[in-house]
Structure 1
Amino acid sequence: MSDMNSTLHDHLKRLDGQLSERFADYDAKLRNIDADLLDVQQKGASIKPQARNGSNLPQVLSKSQALADFKSGASRGTGPIDLGLSIKALTSLQGSTSSPQEGIDVQSQREIGLYGHAMRPLTLLEALPVRAIGSNALSFTRMTDFSNAADTQEGEATSKAEQSITPELVTAPIETIAVWHDASRQVLDDEPGLAQTLSMLLQHGVQAKAESQIIAGAGGNNFTISGFTNEGTTFVPTVAPKADRIGESAATMQASGYQPDLVILHPNDWFAIRSERAVSGNEQYVGPGWASAAEPTVYGMPVVVSPAVTAGTAIVVDRRLVAVLDRMDARVEMSTESGNNFKANIATILAEMRVGLAVFDPKAVNVIDLSTSI
């Protein structure tokens, strides 16, 4: 029993020593806090609020007419008294009016990403039929200047009408469209969302170029797209209004057996058509006007608006007889294995697309001049 008491006594003694040390530490900290508070109070007491004109507070009050009227009994209250106080406060460096500027350099909120380029919707690539191919070109045979020669037989034993067919071998090449950009691995790791933003920007770039080539590619070789304006048939309108020129082209195509179902316009031409007004009456809008929420159409044909079309030109298409050739969809790759990239810790971001256009019948695409005088 005596051993147990001795052990308990030693334990209590050790605990008492620990508590004494802890309380001594707390006491020292409280003394420091008291000293700091006293210093703040003394500095605060030494600050004398100054009015904007340099006067101190007693001077401002002694000159107050409202306070004088209250003291003399002329009024029951002083009302508001403008003390004109100007107490110096800590401000941001960006809001400082002194020279040199003084204050806290407040850090602005940072928005991630890269800005300065509008990535417009590429609706033409979605509107056209797509055909996947497994080579660098598509060859097909189409007829030139075909005209139906079927006719009535002029009695028995007489010669029947003969059909003339002039075949032509056409090759639609696949065009490779690509773009790349270098960036250090450090900045890609340290800047949130930078890699994704660069990938989106470069991918959109090759798709926009592909749309431009599908519309107006010059062709002429085995690696460049021959676009609609190069492959299509020029239509000469006989009416003046732009919408009616498109409608006349569609009617002419329908008379020849085609089914036009798409119109491609420059944004300025679409605006001119949509905002056209009558020249008489109350000058109301000819079409739906700016307030209409309906999908853009001209004579029932859906409209794709693209700045890749030359202003003043409209393209009417029978989509049954054209196809976008998909050899490789737009993709983005990142690599450090190019040149000295690995040693320099540089990553190359590459966007690439392989695409072509097949116009199986030039008469299925009408190119119209909307600006020529009638």
Structure 2
Amino acid sequence: MNMMTRGREFGRKEEGGQEPRDEKTIQQELKDTLDKVKGFAENFEKKAKEGEDVSREAKNNADEALTKLTELRGEMTELAQKLDQRGGGDDEMEHKSLGQKVGASDEFKSYLDSGCTGTMRLEVKAVTSDPASAGPLIQPARQPGIVELPRQRPRIRDLLTPGRTTSNSVEYAKQVTRTNNADVVAEGAQKPESDYAWEVDSAPVRTIAHWVPASRQAMDDIPQLESLIDGELRYGLDDAEDAELLLGDGTGQHLEGLYTVASAYADPIGYADPTRIDQLRLAVLQVELADYAPDGMVLHPSAWTSIELTKTTDGAYVFANPLGIAGPVLWGRPVVPTKRIGSGNFMVGAFRMAGQIFDRMETEVRISDQDRDNFIKNMLTVRAEKRLALAIRRPAALVKGALVDLPAAA
């Protein structure tokens, strides 16, 4: 014989024909029992302090209340489990069964009002994925994460010497004249005089900033949205900074960019019919003849690809190794690919000697509801900004030019 005790089934009568109690009734009884147990505890504590003994009857009453409390807690747990199994959420109940729909239909109500005479005709539509049919029951499978747009990592900053400032501009002394007349001198003869001259130049601190609006609900409900917006805003600043460091024209609030002040490329040795690879080596020579040591190149990604794909007559790659994992390097100098420079241009230089970045304020992201009518609309303004100056001390250390055309395909 199966001696397992069977619990009460939610929605059916209990043993003895009694209706099961609802959640509100059980909660009220649980509260009353808790108050009773609390009263017993306070009474026992008071008598213990006064040195009085607790009567056996009081102890029995307390034991009964504690037993009742345990039963009520078990009943609440059972009720919660049954509600959960039935999916007792409001959203679930919105999807009515066929019987519920028949009972709630106007046709059925009219049939009852007429004394159930004659025959009732109720049209039951075909069950399809149409929104008016079973469509609401079909829930799309939501994949975690957000698919972001591609990013290109700005790296012009990496070529320059880093620095910091606490002012709104950076002044520096720039050498403008060097006439070196050092020579051997006979005993008693006058020594030759050299000529050096400097002038003071300044680099103003500029601000790069942008912002986006976002609703407070979206920021609260999507955990990764705040970090995503933060990352997007930071990337946007870096991308704009990349453009300013390279191409800024120095007017208005723009920085003076490296490409803007670089010297024009001029073949120093008159090399005949140079390729793009030859041309970049000649630009390195031009910088070296200006007494600087080139430490990098800037090319468009497509221009760099055309160089990597250069092959010998038997099909072997000249510079690239398809199996290699080393970064882009040409003539011993690292290559920085960036679309900002344009597909037909290049720049070679001693970047760390030529320029220095002075950060006044590193990237800062702030969120505020104190913007226009944000407070009453439950909106937030997310702002990102940075402040920096670019001091280009030695423009002659930079050479820019246009790449020669690629040979026509055979």
Same fold (TM over 0.5): yes
Which residue of the partner structure matches residue 288 of structure 2? 254
- Give the match's secondary structure for 2:15: helix
Deviation at residue 180 of structure 1 after TM alignment? 0.4
Q: Tell me: CA distance 1:152–1:106, structure 2 relative to 1, closer, same or farther (3 Å).
A: same
Q: Tell me: CA distance 1:114–1:284, structure 2 relative to 1, closer, same or farther (3 Å).
A: closer
Q: Please list, as runs of the form range in 1=range in 2, the aligned pairs for 1:195-206 lying within 5 A after superposition.
A: 195-206=226-237
Match of 2:329 among 283, 297, 314: 297
Which residue of the partner structure matches residue 131 of structure 1? 163
Deviation at residue 100 of structure 1 after TM alignment? 8.8
Aligned partner letter, 1:332 = V
- Do 2:263 and 2:396's aligned partners in 1 also have CA atoms closer than 8 Å? yes
The whole-number CA distance in structure 1 between the counterparts of 2:232 and 2:128 is: 36
Post-superposition Cα deviations, 1:4-63, rounded to whole Å, max 9, x if no partner, equal xxxxxxxxxxxxxx9xx74356999xxxxxxxxxxxxxxxxxxxxxxxxxxxxxxxxxxx
- Give the match's secondary structure for 2:287: helix
Deviation at residue 144 of structure 1 after TM alignment? 2.6
Match of 1:208 among 239, 244, 254: 239
Q: Please list, as runs of the form range in 1=range in 2, the aligned pairs for 1:21-40 lying within 5 A after superposition.
A: 22-24=14-16
Which residue of the partner structure matches residue 106 of structure 1? 139
Which residue of the partner structure matches residue 317 of structure 2? 285
- Do 1:233 and 1:366's aligned partners in 2 also have CA atoms closer than 8 Å? yes
Which residue of the partner structure matches residue 219 of structure 1? 250
Match of 1:360 among 366, 386, 393: 393
Post-superposition Cα deviations, 1:229-252, rounded to whole Å, max 9, x if no partner, equal 112222223442222222222233
Q: Please list, as runs of the form range in 1=range in 2, the aligned pairs for 1:182-201 lying within 5 A after superposition.
A: 182-201=213-232
Q: Tell me: CA distance 1:156–1:199, structure 2 relative to 1, closer, same or farther (3 Å).
A: same
- Give the match's secondary structure for 2:196: coil
- Do 2:290 and 2:396's aligned partners in 1 also have CA atoms closer than 8 Å? no
- Give the match's secondary structure for 2:340: coil
Which residue of the partner structure matches residue 168 of structure 1? 199
- Give the match's secondary structure for 1:211: helix
Q: Tell me: CA distance 1:172–1:27, structure 2 relative to 1, closer, same or farther (3 Å).
A: closer
**Alignment RMSD (CA, Å):** 3.1
Q: Return the TM-score normalized by structure 2.
A: 0.62
Structure 2: runs of 5+ lacking an equivalent: 1-7, 21-125
Aligned partner letter, 2:169 = A
- Do 1:328 and 1:353's aligned partners in 2 also have CA atoms closer than 8 Å? yes
- Do 2:205 and 2:360's aligned partners in 1 also have CA atoms closer than 8 Å? yes
The whole-number CA distance in structure 1 between the counterparts of 2:177 and 2:405 is: 26
Deviation at residue 314 of structure 1 after TM alignment? 1.7
Which residue of the partner structure matches residue 378 of structure 2? 345
Match of 2:265 among 209, 229, 235: 235
Aligned partner letter, 2:241 = A
The percentage of aligned residue pairs carrying the same residue is 24
- Give the match's secondary structure for 2:256: coil
Which residue of the partner structure matches residue 82 of structure 2? none
The whole-number CA distance in structure 1 between the counterparts of 2:325 and 2:374 is: 51
- Do 2:367 and 2:383's aligned partners in 1 also have CA atoms closer than 8 Å? yes
Deviation at residue 369 of structure 1 after TM alignment? 2.3
The whole-number CA distance in structure 2 between the counterparts of 1:366 and 1:178 is: 30
1:325 matched to 2:317? no
Q: Indicate the larger mover: 174-183 or 226-235.
A: 226-235
Which residue of the partner structure matches residue 265 of structure 1? 299
The whole-number CA distance in structure 2 between the counterparts of 1:137 and 1:243 is: 39
The whole-number CA distance in structure 1 between the counterparts of 2:339 and 2:278 is: 21
The whole-number CA distance in structure 2 between the counterparts of 1:25 and 1:144 is: 107
1:274 matched to 2:308? yes
Query: Size of the alignment, in residue pairs?
Result: 285
Deviation at residue 300 of structure 1 after TM alignment? 0.8
The whole-number CA distance in structure 1 between the counterparts of 2:212 and 2:183 is: 63
Q: Tell me: CA distance 1:343–1:291, structure 2 relative to 1, closer, same or farther (3 Å).
A: same
